[in-house]
Amino acid sequence: MTEESTEGLTAQEYETFASQRNIDTHLFKVSHGILRPIADRGFEGDQSSINDLDDHVFPACDQYRVAVQAGAGLGLWPCRMSATFGKVYTFEPHPELFYCVTHYAPQLNVIKFNAALGNDRKLIQVAHPTRPWNYGGFHVQKEPGDIPTMRIDDLQLPICDLIMLDIEGQEFEALKGAEETIKRCYPVIVFESKAGCFRRYGTDPEQLYAFLQKYGYHHLKRMHRDKDEIWKRKS
């Protein structure tokens, strides 16, 4: 997406402009005649998530060199993580949300991928949430599309201190695609574990727990209204 001028458009003309370009007006606005990403009402609500990073995730890490994060949303997570980690690799498959990520997380140590994470390299499409302002509800569909899927192992990271995933049920697939990285680096792993989202892809959190336990991981704590879990390898 490029920044297109909308100067002089009436509200109705702007709605037509946005509709023709499949622009989500909950994510973008006109500012000084230019189409720009906005922080919708959920953006401020995510401050509690940022507090969870400071209060729970960062203290669980032993080092702060490299982090992998997926489900970047509007860029809140990678932006905050970039101030603590030397390098952050972030993944956001939805094109408009990815555009927001580039706007809100412009730091040079944030490496951004407009791609999904999984275990199978394939082209996918992203489903929109039922509530249009719920930018965290976008999720990968099984039907083919034009957005690439990457594996964390594709990065061939020599070091990785944290993997943090909020990808609406695809967490198990993404961690299977990180198996070599996990065996090599033993990062702290944080993931959302809503059973309903897992069922969307025919899995459940128990399968993910067993996968991590196979590599010596144990559960540390829950956070973010008990939706997210922190796991770490036993020392």
Q: CATH number for the domain including 195?
A: 3.40.50.150
- β-strands 162-165, 188-192: how paired? parallel
Do 92 and 5 share a structural domain?
A: no
The amino acid occupying position 189 is: I
Dist CA 182 CA 160 (whole Å)? 8
Do 137 and 32 share a structural domain?
A: no
Provide the number of structural domains found in the chain: 2
- pLDDT(5) > 50: no
Give residues with Cβ within 8 angstroms of 151, minimum separation 6. 117, 118, 119, 121, 177, 178
With tokens 């009402």, the residue in question is 41
Do 58 and 32 share a structural domain?
A: no
Domain extent for 19: 1-38
With tokens 């990180």, the residue in question is 178
- What does the pLDDT look like over 209-234, one tens digit per residue? 999 999 999 999 998 776 889 999 98
Do 17 and 51 share a structural domain?
A: no
Q: Output DSSP code: residue 119.
A: S
Confidence bin at 6 (pLDDT 50/70/90): very low
pLDDT (0 to 100) of residue 28 = 59
Do 51 and 31 share a structural domain?
A: no
pLDDT (0 to 100) of residue 14 = 52
Dist CA 105 CA 113 (whole Å)? 12
Confidence bin at 54 (pLDDT 50/70/90): very high
Do 153 and 92 share a structural domain?
A: yes
Confidence bin at 75 (pLDDT 50/70/90): confident
Select the more confidently predicted residue: 207 or 45. Answer: 207
- Total number of residues shown for the chain: 235
Do 49 and 29 share a structural domain?
A: no
Question: Is 115 within 8 Å of 137 (Cβ atoms)?
Answer: no
Name the nearest CA neighbour of 181 among 48, 28, 68, 40: 68
Select the more confidently predicted residue: 99 or 1. Answer: 99
In percent, the amount of the chain with pLDDT more than 90 equals 43
Do 136 and 28 share a structural domain?
A: no
Do 32 and 91 share a structural domain?
A: no
The whole-number average pLDDT for the span 55-64 is 96
- pLDDT(1) > 60: no
Do 67 and 109 share a structural domain?
A: yes
Question: Is 89 within 8 Å of 69 (Cβ atoms)?
Answer: yes
Burial (CB count <10 Å: 0-12, 13-18, 19+), residue 175 = buried
Mean pLDDT for all residues in the chain: 80
Window from 30-39, 95-104, 160-169, 187-196 with minimum mean pLDDT: 30-39
Confidence bin at 20 (pLDDT 50/70/90): low
Do 127 and 78 share a structural domain?
A: yes
- Locate 142 and state its tokens: 């099984």
Dist CA 184 CA 20 (whole Å)? 47
Confidence bin at 188 (pLDDT 50/70/90): very high
Q: What does the radius of gyration of the chain's CA atoms come to, in whole angstroms?
A: 18
Q: For residues 123-140, b (16+ Cβ closer than 10 Å) or e, as one string?
A: ebebbeeeeeeebbebbb
With tokens 């401020």, the residue in question is 44
pLDDT (0 to 100) of residue 124 = 78
Confidence bin at 73 (pLDDT 50/70/90): low
- pLDDT(3) > 60: no
The amino acid occupying position 166 is: D
Do 2 and 62 share a structural domain?
A: no
